[in-house]
Amino acid sequence: MTHQLRSRDIIALGFMTFALFVGAGNIIFPPMVGLQAGEHVWTAAFGFLITAVGLPVLTVVALAKVGGGVDSLSTPIGKVAGVLLATVCYLAVGPLFATPRTATVSFEVGIAPLTGDSALPLFIYSLVYFAIVILVSLYPGKLLDTVGNFLAPLKIIALVILSVAAIVWPAGSISTATEAYQNAAFSNGFVNGYLTMDTLGAMVFGIVIVNAARSRGVTEARPADPVIPSGLA
**Which pLDDT band, with edges at 50, 70 and 90, does 4 fall under?**
low
Determine the pLDDT at residue 2.
52
pLDDT grade for 1, boundaries at 50, 70 and 90: very low
- Asked if 149 contacts 8 with a C-beta cutoff of 8 angstroms, the reply is no
- Each residue's pLDDT tens digit, 149-167: 777 788 888 888 888 888 8
Q: How far apart are CA 87 and CA 95, in angstroms?
A: 12
pTM: 0.75
40-75: per-residue pLDDT in tens? 999 999 999 999 888 888 888 888 777 667 777 777
Cβ count within 10 A of residue 26 = 19
What are the residue ranges spanned by the domains of the chain?
A: 7-89+140-232
Instruction: Of 39-48, 80-89, 116-125, give the lowest mean pLDDT range.
Output: 80-89
Q: What is the residue type of 156?
A: I
